[in-house]
Structure 1
Amino acid sequence: MDGDEYMQIGEVAERTSLSLRTIRYYEEVGLVVPSERSQGRFRLYTEADVRRLWLIRKLKPLDLSLDQIRDLLAALDRAGADDVGPDEAAVLRSSLAAFHAIARARCALMREQLVGAEEFAADVADRITALEPAGEDTAPKS
């Protein structure tokens, strides 16, 4: 395989911060497929497999279903192919635009949630400060 070095699942798990069980599950549901198997039937992965797992991991906060993730990965795979014709390119653009809209909406929601969490943290820090005896500054920094 063009000099690619293979990694066993344990190294991939360490590099992606995913559990072995999660990686196996992603294989079971068809999101990622090991590039090879050793003679002992151990899963062997390449850098490309690790990048795909990182992408799947980045998708988690978007709350996509497994089917949506599968469709998105398929669209991304096809979008990078050399043999995409104009009709297929239009379908891919439409599909990717829909996922882009989902991602932007989810990011906006997460920003709102972050603002709320930061406001809460600041309120709690103010209450801690209010409970401190006069002259002491031991409140957590917000």
Structure 2
Amino acid sequence: MAVHGSKIGQVADDTGMSIRTLRHYDELGIVSPSGRSAGGFRLYSDEDMQRILLIRRMKPLDFTLEEIGVFLRAVDTLASMAATPADKEHAGQLIADVRSQTGERLDKLRKRVSYAEEFLAQLETINL
């Protein structure tokens, strides 16, 4: 049976993440490639790519890898047919907490960007 997917170098190029980072995520179990080639190369599916891009979006908001892992497991729980209603309720609450934290962190990030823009404007007024 043929295994399909993108090799790690292509995934790194497509996501803007380093090969080292992708390997680290695999070691932590946050994002593991869906398959391996006959030669043992990691092969990432489109779903794996989406997961990596989700992590890339969370990192600038200062979510830790542990927090990201908890979030991704909650997402997986909601998608699981085997999850109990209690598990799904808990996962939903975790995701709601991340949503709330994301809003707060985005507000802080916007404020920092605003300060950086003010500073840049001030620098423009300095005559050299």
Correspondences of 1:129-140 after superposition (within 5 Å): none
Please, which runs of 5 or more residues in structure 2 have no aligned partner? none
State the structure with bigger RCO (CA 8 A, min sep 6), 1 or 2: 2
Cα drift, residue 84 of structure 1: 4.6
Correspondences of 1:75-86 after superposition (within 5 Å): 75-86=74-85
**Alpha-carbon deviations, 1:13-68, whole Å to 9, x = none?**
11111111111011011111111111211111111111111111111012122211
Q: TM-score, normalised by structure 1?
A: 0.81
Cα drift, residue 85 of structure 1: 4.4
Correspondences of 1:77-116 after superposition (within 5 Å): 77-116=76-115
| 2: CA distance, partners of 1:7 / 1:90 | 34
Aligned-pair identity (%): 37
Please, which runs of 5 or more residues in structure 1 have no aligned partner? 132-142
Aligned partner of residue 125 in structure 2, secondary structure: helix
| 2: CA distance, partners of 1:122 / 1:20 | 37
Cα drift, residue 83 of structure 1: 4.7
Correspondences of 1:1-142 after superposition (within 5 Å): 5-128=4-127
Aligned partner of residue 39 in structure 1, secondary structure: coil
CA RMSD of aligned residues (A): 1.9
The number of residues matched between the two structures is 128
Say whether the 8 Å CA contact 1:4–1:46 is kept in structure 2. Answer: no
Larger gyration radius, structure 1 or structure 2:
1
Aligned to 1:140: none
Quick check: which one's helix share is greater? 2
